């Protein structure tokens, strides 16, 4: 059995590498909370590369506008058709911001339809840790920028009854991208939702 | 003496001539009709004392056979012969795959060409090598027809399958995820227990209820299923199917169930997944020695990669390939479908036949074989073998006595000729 490897997607536009600490922190949480065999270091794969198919869960983030190339769109479409799950997190946590707007447009072009919100009762929120109120809020949403702008739901594109694209405006990239020298934003480890994401991807 | 012999010979020839003249039947009316028109001709054929002789060069349909049987039952003498209909039969049975499809089993003489079709048109053809041929058809429309050297045998497709559940037991991981996905996409109802950590599993359905009345096959991919090994053994012995993945087969808990002992894990033989032989790109835990009664189902080069054995009423299929999800994700176009078919076939092969019969709704679901020649014999009785070499009319057979007259004439004339030669008379 091959071990789980966390994969960060590199795309041509924008700033794909804006949250370099996320992979290490999530890998640590998966190893800490579960018995899932996990590769100690993550992988970085170009969205247009066939290597992407070796990682059925991939993470994409950024602050800047996102425009996929034709090769990137084609590969992402193949990836999703074969059962891959792409997690996209808006590193800005804003509403209708440049990353959010452009990424959602690009994802809709690939999936063929706009992403839709998933209910707070979705399996994603209870497959390992239980999140009865849906996606956990982040420090940035509550007071990091002083705006208390909370995004109540995540968006998703489904293939059948399983998520193939998950989109977050909650800025988990900041929440999970803490430096080990710093304490976390919240007293309760917020990477636990990241563990749920990995468990969901591995079991659904 | 020579005069006597000559007289006997000539007398015997005279008797044969008289017999031939007396035995020649009166010229009877004879007609050649198309197979579909024969029933109409029989409907108007008089019920006279003359024997009706029907020589066919194709299988009679049910209506025509019924007409001939009715004439016979009404006391009108008749006989029949057949010159071209091969002994053939076709039966349809559902595949053990909820993705649909039926298997058409056609019995036919060696060398015959079988053409399979349905209500829409031709499907496939094959030449018989060993008494029959088997076609797998995805979704035949209406009645299936197997033509053996042009002679049709027809059968209706069986009822739609209602498969029982497949249970997948494994650690949370890509292999379990994509095996489950493949089986679900193929139509199997799948229940899972995927271990995330020793005290926590992701569960779908009721995988703890191992009951052959509702579960067809259990897929145990790795050692996380070892605590259930005893229960799985009881499940198999009571008629269930079990697919053992390589990590499970290596576990001592499954030593009594596996098809063979495992060897050291082998690396993939190729880097990229190729359409022609995709499993060369997978790691393999080889099956090095088979248990008594086990059979190898698939080899990679000389190494056994998949094997199966019976365990009491059940069946175990042991798979040596690992990380088959890489085939589905990284393979060429069609890899996802190929991976799905392969896993569906593995599960189907682990499902014991008798379970499958019950699963698919009982014996009535499997259609009765249609055997044209056998059906004609059943309806009309045995064919008249003397008609086989002729197109119809009276038999030229002189009868056993006629043959003896001929022998007598020949012997007498030869003896007379020999006697004359011995005496030196020309």
What string of H, E and C letters represents the secondary structure of chain B? CHHHHHHHHHHHHHHHHHHHHHHCCCCCCCCCCCHHHHHHHHHHCCCCCCCEEEEECCCCCHHHHHHHHHHHHCCCCEEEEECCCCCCEEEEEECCCCCCCEEEEEECCCCCEEEEECCCCEEEEEECCCCEEEEEECCCCCCEEEEECCEEEEECCCCCCCCCEEEEEEECCHHHHHHHHHHHHHCCCEEEEEEEECCEEEEECCCCCCCCCCEEEEEECCHHHHHHHHHHHHHHHCCCEEEECHHHHCCHHHCCCCCEEECCCECCCCCCCCCCCHHHHCCECCEEEECCCCEEEEEECCEEEEEEEEECCEEEEEECECCCHHHHHHCCCCHHHHHHHHHHHHHHHHCCHHHHHHHCCCHHHCCCCECHHHHHHHHHCCCCHHHCCCCCCCCCCCHHHHHHHHHHHHHHHHHHHHHHHHCCCC
List the one residue out of A143, A117, A119 whose CA is nearest residue A133. Answer: A119
Q: Which of B202, B222, B247 sits opposite A199 (nearest CB)?
A: B202
Query: Per residue, what are the HEC states of A141-182?
Result: HHHHCCCCCCCCCCEEEEECCEEEEEEECCCHHHHCCCCCCC
**Predicted pLDDT of residue B29:** 67
Mean pLDDT of successive 10-residue stretches along chain B, which has 426 residues: 82 79 60 78 77 80 81 81 80 74 84 88 88 82 82 74 87 97 93 96 93 94 97 96 97 97 96 92 97 96 96 96 97 95 93 49 48 82 73 48 80 85 78
pLDDT at B395: 44
Q: Would you state the structure tokens that stand for residue B307, as one six-digit string? A: 């094997």
- Res B139: pLDDT: 76
Q: According to the model, what pLDDT value does residue B85 have?
A: 77
Q: Which residue of A has its CA nearest to B224?
A: A35
Give the integer Cα–Cα distance in Å for A22 and B196.
21
Q: Which of B175, B197, B329 lies at the smallest CB-CB distance from A54? A: B329
Quick check: B171 and A35 CB within 8 A? Answer: yes
Radius of gyration (C-alpha) of chain B in whole angstroms? 34
Report the gap between the CA of A92 and the closest CA in chain B (Å): 31
SS3 assignment, position A90: strand
The CA distance from A100 to the nearest CA of chain B, in Å, is 28
CA-nearest of B230, B216, B245, B228 to B315 is B216
For residues A27 and A195, give the distance between their C-alpha atoms in angstroms, rounded to a whole number.
9
> Quick check: helix, strand or coil at residue A185?
coil
Is there a contact between A2 and B175 if contact means CB atoms under 8 Å apart?
yes
DSSP per-residue string spanning A5-57 = --EEEE-SSS-TTS-TTHHHHHHHHHHHH----B-SS-EEEETTSGGGGG-SE
Q: What is the pLDDT of residue B343?
A: 96
Contact A27, A195 (CB under 8 A): no
Q: What single DSSP character describes residue A125?
A: G
pLDDT at position B234, please? 97
Which chain A residue is nearest to residue B247, measuring alpha carbons?
A1
In angstroms, the Cα distances linking B422 to B3, B259, B408, B417, B418 are 15, 83, 21, 9, 6
Residue B216 structure tokens: 């067809």
Q: Which residue pairs from A26-33 have beta carbons closer than 8 angstroms and sit at least 24 positions apart in sequence?
A: A26/A176, A26/A191, A26/A194, A26/A195, A26/A198, A28/A191, A29/A189, A29/A191, A29/A192, A29/A194, A29/A195, A30/A4, A30/A6, A30/A194, A30/A195, A30/A198, A33/A128, A33/A129, A33/A192, A33/A195, A33/B197
* Chain B residues lying within 8 Å of A34, measured CB to CB: 172, 196-197, 200
pLDDT at position B41 is 80
Contact by Cβ (8 Å): A143, A129 = no
- Residue B352 CA to residue B36 CA, distance in Å, equals 44
Q: Do A203 and B194 touch (CB under 8 A)?
A: yes
Give the dihedral sign, CA A165/A171/A176/A178: positive
* Residues of chain A falling short of pLDDT 50: 146
Q: Which residues pair with residue B94 across a beta bridge?
A: B102
The ipTM of this complex is 0.94
| pLDDT at residue B241, rounded to an integer | 96
Residue B173 with chain A: CB contacts under 8 Å? 1-2, 4, 36-37, 202
How high is the pLDDT of residue B26? 53
| Contact in structure between B39 and B64 (CB atoms under 8 Å) | yes
Mean pLDDT taken over chain B:
84
Q: Which region holds residue B267: left if phi is over 0, alpha if psi is between -120 and 50, else beta? A: beta
Beta carbons within 10 angstroms of residue A189's beta carbon = 16
Residue B362's pLDDT is 39
The residue behind tokens 């190339």 is: A69
**Which residue of A6, A58, A83 is the best one to mutate when testing the B interface, meaning the one whose CB has the most B CBs within 10 A?**
A83
Phi then psi for B109, rounded to 5 degrees?
A: -65, 150
Q: How far is the C-alpha of B219 from the C-alpha of B248, rounded, in Å?
A: 10
Q: Which residues have C-beta within 8 Å of that of residue A18, sequence separation ≥ 6?
A: A61, A62, A63, A91, A173
Contact B177 A35 (CB under 8 A): no
> Is 0.80 surpassed by the pTM of this model?
no
Q: Do B177 and A83 touch (CB under 8 A)?
A: yes
HSE value, Cβ hemisphere, 13 Å, CA-based, for B374: 11
Query: CA A132 to CA B6: how far, in whole Å?
Result: 119
Check residue A80 and give its pLDDT: 97
Q: Does A199 sit within 8 Å of B173, measured CB to CB?
A: no
């Amino acid at each position: 059995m091959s071990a789980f490897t966390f994969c960060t997607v590199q795309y041509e536009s924008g700033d794909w590498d804006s949250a370099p600490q996320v992979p290490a922190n999530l890998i640590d949480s998966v190893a800490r909370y579960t018995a899932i065999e996990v590769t100690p270091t993550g992988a970085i794969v170009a969205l247009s590369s066939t290597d992407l198919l070796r990682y059925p869960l991939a993470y994409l983030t950024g602050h800047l506008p996102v425009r996929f190339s034709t090769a990137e769109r084609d590969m992402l479409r193949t990836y999703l058709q074969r059962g891959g799950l792409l997690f996209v997190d808006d590193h800005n946590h804003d509403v209708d911001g440049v990353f959010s707007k452009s990424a959602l447009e690009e994802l809709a072009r690939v999936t063929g339809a706009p992403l839709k919100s998933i209910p707070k009762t979705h399996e994603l929120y209870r497959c390992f840790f239980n999140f009865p109120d849906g996606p956990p809020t982040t420090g940035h949403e509550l007071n990091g920028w002083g705006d208390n702008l909370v995004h109540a739901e995540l968006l998703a594109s489904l293939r059948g009854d399983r998520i193939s694209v998950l989109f977050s405006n909650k800025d988990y990239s900041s929440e999970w991208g803490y430096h080990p020298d710093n304490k976390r934003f919240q007293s309760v480890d917020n990477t636990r939702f990241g563990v749920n994401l990995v468990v969901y991807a591995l079991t659904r | 003496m020579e005069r006597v012999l000559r007289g006997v010979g000539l007398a015997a020839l005279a008797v044969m001539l008289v017999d031939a003249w007396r035995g020649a039947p009166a010229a009877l009316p004879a007609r050649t009709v198309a197979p579909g028109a024969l029933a109409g001709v029989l409907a108007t054929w008089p019920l006279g004392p003359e024997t009706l002789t029907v020589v066919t060069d194709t299988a009679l349909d049910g209506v025509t056979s019924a007409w001939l049987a009715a004439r016979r039952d009404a006391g009108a003498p008749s006989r029949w012969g057949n010159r071209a209909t091969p002994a053939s039969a076709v039966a349809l049975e559902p595949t053990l795959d909820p993705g649909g499809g039926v298997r058409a089993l056609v019995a036919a003489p060696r060398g015959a060409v079988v053409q399979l079709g349905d209500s829409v048109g031709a499907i496939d053809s094959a030449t018989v090598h060993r008494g029959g041929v088997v076609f797998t058809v995805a979704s035949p429309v209406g009645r299936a027809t197997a033509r053996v050297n042009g002679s049709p045998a027809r059968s209706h497709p069986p009822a739609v399958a209602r498969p029982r559940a497949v249970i997948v037991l494994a650690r949370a991981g890509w292999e379990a995820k994509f095996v489950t996905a493949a089986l679900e996409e193929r139509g199997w109802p799948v229940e899972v227990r995927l271990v995330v950590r020793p005290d926590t599993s992701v569960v779908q359905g009721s995988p703890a209820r191992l009951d052959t009345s509702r579960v067809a096959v259990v897929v145990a991919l790795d050692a996380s299923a070892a605590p259930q090994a005893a229960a799985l053994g009881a499940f198999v012995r009571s008629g269930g199917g079990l697919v053992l993945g390589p990590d499970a087969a290596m576990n001592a808990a499954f030593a009594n169930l596996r098809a063979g002992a495992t060897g050291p894990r082998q690396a993939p033989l190729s880097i990229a997944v190729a359409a022609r032989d995709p499993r060369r790109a997978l790691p393999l835990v080889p099956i090095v020695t088979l248990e008594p009664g086990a059979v190898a189902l698939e080899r990679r080069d000389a190494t056994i990669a998949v094997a199966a054995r019976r365990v009491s009423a059940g069946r175990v299929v042991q798979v040596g390939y690992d990380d088959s999800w890489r085939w589905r994700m990284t393979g060429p176009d069609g890899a996802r479908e190929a991976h799905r078919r392969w896993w569906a076939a593995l599960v189907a092969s682990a499902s014991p036949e008798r379970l499958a019969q019950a699963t698919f709704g009982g014996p009535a679901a499997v259609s009765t074989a249609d055997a044209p020649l056998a059906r004609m014999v059943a309806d009309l009785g045995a064919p008249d073998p003397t008609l086989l070499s002729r197109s119809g009319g009276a038999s030229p057979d002189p009868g056993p006595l006629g043959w003896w007259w001929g022998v007598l004439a020949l012997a007498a004339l030869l003896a007379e000729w020999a006697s004359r030669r011995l005496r030196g008379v020309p």
